[in-house]
Structure 1
Amino acid sequence: MAANSSPFKIILGSSSVARRKILAEMGYDFTIMTADIDEKSIRKEKPEDLVMALADAKAEAILQRFPIGDYIKDAEPTLLITSDQVVVYEGVVREKPSSKEEARKFMKDYSGGHAATVGSVLVTNLKTGFRKGDWDCVEIYFHEIPDGVIESLIEEGTVLNVAGGLIIEHPLILPLVKQVVGTTDSVMGLPKALTERLLEEARSSFES
């Protein structure tokens, strides 16, 4: 159901182009707000706990910008989507590469090997205060990644801005992906089925 035919607004709490694209593909109209949080200050042992804590912190940061009292009384029902993602390689959490050297090391590790993405989605109903989140995990297996491909990707720069320097939808990487156990949209940062389920639960909280 498209949001423009629904009695609620959606805010995507992310500056990610991939997440924007996925939510638009799902048929929703939405506005963008970004959360300026210090992600490095939030640490959890388990990747699932980390991405959930980060999505929660992003939601809190965005909610602080609203005059909630007035919002609950006057505003149309609004759902806020926040999310986060990390890459896990050999049990270690990887966030965005801190340098070209780190991105190069990450990709050399994936060559002929595998990694996982752990991503969270959190939906907050600004009208009712309802908040529900969950996480999703995908395993990605790679063929050998030639050095030339790695250097091209680093020069282009996309891999420097994504968790773990890991992308699978890029034309240079796509042929080198051996198997994806899970969904591509989840790897790109917003699992459609999970997002749809959480939006539905948050929508039904309008009636409760």
Structure 2
Amino acid sequence: MTMIPTDLNMILASQSPRRKELLALTGHSFSTLSTAIDETFRQDEGIEENLKRIATEKAEAICRLYPEKTRNALLISADTTVLFDNVALGKPSDFQEALDMLTMLQGSTHSVITGFSLFYSGRRHCECVTTKVEFLPMSRDDMTGYITTQSPYDKAGGYGIQDPLMSCFVKGIEGCYYNVVGLPLSAVCRAIRQLLTTANA
């Protein structure tokens, strides 16, 4: 398997601490750039279409803001949502919304979907990765305790699977664990290698 070249200038278009931690697992150095964009889902687009569009728009915005820094770089961007009963759950805005989301998810199975985009040398790659997560039932005290002691407000679906208390209620995972945290690392690395091969052909 071809490794990512050590001299590749890699930029993560995100300030998410979880995505930075995950990308660091590749052992490759990278920098981060970010900017705020409208991440509202459009009703006339499907879930995956929305995620890929938002990820792409994040990368495009970074390219416009930092043309010199991104010109010869590989740019990585992503957007994640939780899907339950065909309803996309984004980041909760307050305690009650976080509690409502956890109440929906407990004792059931939901999907975590991440759309990611890669920009390099005038070429683009965009795809979505889905992981299914099953939670054990949680009591109201469990849920309120988690919301109080952790930080669910910057996490899709109102939870982080890596958080200590939530790990006690994960019954099963089908798919990539890292995708649930925020970046489907194996899919991203595979896509990077393919994009580099195509660009250098």
So what's the TM-score if we normalise by structure 1?
0.88
| Distance of 1:43 and 1:199 partners within structure 2 | 31
User: Please, which of 96, 99, 116 is the counterpart of residue 101 of structure 1?
Assistant: 96
SS in 2 for 1:102: helix
**Which residue, 191, 197, 201 being the options, matches 1:204?**
197
2:164 is matched with: 171
Counterparts of 1:40 and 1:121 in 2: how far apart (Å)? 16
Alpha-carbon contact 2:81-2:88 (below 8 Å) kept: yes
Task: Give secondary structure in 2 for the equivalent of 1:106.
Answer: helix
Give the aligned partner of residue 35 of structure 1: 35
- Corresponding residue for residue 65 of structure 1: 65
**Which has the higher mean CA deviation after the structures are superposed, 197-206 or 91-100?**
197-206
Deviations 1:79-138 (A, max 9, x none): 00000011101011111112210100110111111211110121101xx21110111001
| Alpha carbons of structure 1 residues 174 and 193: separation in structure 2 relative to 1, 3 Å | same
Distance in 1 separating the partners of 2:14 and 2:148 = 25
CA positional deviation for 1:41: 6.6
8 Å contact kept, 1:35–1:59: no
Partner of 1:161: 154
Unaligned runs of 5+ in 2: none
SS in 1 for 2:132: strand
Question: Would the aligned equivalents of 1:112 and 1:143 in 2 still touch at CA under 8 Å?
Answer: yes
Give the conservation status (yes or no) of the 8 Å contact 2:125–2:191. Answer: yes
- Report the AA paired with residue 12 of structure 1: L
Unaligned runs of 5+ in 1: none
Q: Does 1:194 align with 2:187?
A: yes
Moved over 6 A (4+): none
Identity %: 25
Counterpart secondary structure, 1:112:
coil
Does residue 107 of structure 2 align to residue 112 of structure 1? yes
Paired with 1:133 and 1:173, the residues of 2 have a C-alpha distance of 30
Deviation at 1:45, TM superposition (A): 3.2
Q: Which residue is equivalent to 1:16? A: 16
Out of 193-202 and 129-138, give the one that drifted further.
Answer: 193-202
Alignment partner, residue 136 of structure 2: 143
1:156 is displaced (CA, Å) by 2.9
Alignment partners' CA distance in 1, 2:28 and 2:44: 32
Aligned partners of 1:79 and 1:202 also within 8 Å = no
Contact 2:160 2:181 (8 Å CA) reproduced: yes
- How far did residue 71 of structure 1 move? 6.8
Q: Cα offset for 1:147?
A: 1.8
Corresponding residue pairs, total: 200
Aligned-residue Cα RMSD (Å) equals: 2.0
